[in-house]
Amino acid sequence: MSSSDPDSTFDAAPLFHLFWDNSTLNPSRAQVMHERIAHDAARPYQPPRPLHAAAGVALPAPCAERNTAWLQRRSARAFGSAPWTLDAVAHLLAPLRTREAAGLCDAATQTRLLPSGGGKYPVQAYVALCRVDGPPDLQNNLAWYDPARHALTPVAPCPDWPTLAKTLGVDWAVAPAFVVLLVAEGAGTLAKYGERGGRFLLIEAGVHLGTLGYQAAEAGWAGSAIASFDDDAVLALLGLSAPRHLAMLAYACGPAA
């Protein structure tokens, strides 16, 4: 099969395919996961203790100015009801741009501000604009983020919040202003790196998540990662499907309650 054939996505990494299939959520698997989470919450837990003795050499204190955003970072799932503007969306997504879109001179390579294994850039961002004031073409829509133009392209209507919340597997009463949906098209990464490429897909999704969280904290907004979504249902909202596309992560953001 050619690498452009969606069925060939996992040809180079069949074991990662097995892992991915077994970690995909659907309604029945989500119920099992919720039960496991509830069981875990009832047990006492402490992070693993280090194998080494307590550190004896103190490091210099971090720069206070550069440390502010990290001190503010929290996973917050309660949002204010005020709508947001496109300026806020632009701020959150800005680090996902290509270097050319950021005003740097890399037009020939189209490299981005965030790193990617082998320069494959498998992770794409979509945005569910739940409560964002903006042009009619974007309000209450799902949109693809174009990193080369720092722009949004509408792809489908955004479901109402109760419907979207069910797809995402959350029970929040108030909708966030918007939800970033991270989707990977991993064939290029897996073809180059084989099974190891599966780790790179997960790492890149994590880099995106950390970046979004930092942007939100820097602006004093509420935000939270979401990993309880129905994989196939998220892809279907965007007109995508597995195995060519993989629903990696979601990040909800909005004004703090």
Q: What is the DSSP string of 184-241?
A: E--HHHHHHHTTHHHHHHHHHHHHHHHHHHHHHHHHT-EEEEE--S-HHHHHHHTT--
Q: Kindly report the pTM of this predicted structure.
A: 0.91
Each residue's pLDDT tens digit, 96-115 = 998 888 887 656 667 888 99
Each residue's pLDDT tens digit, 187-196 = 999 999 999 9
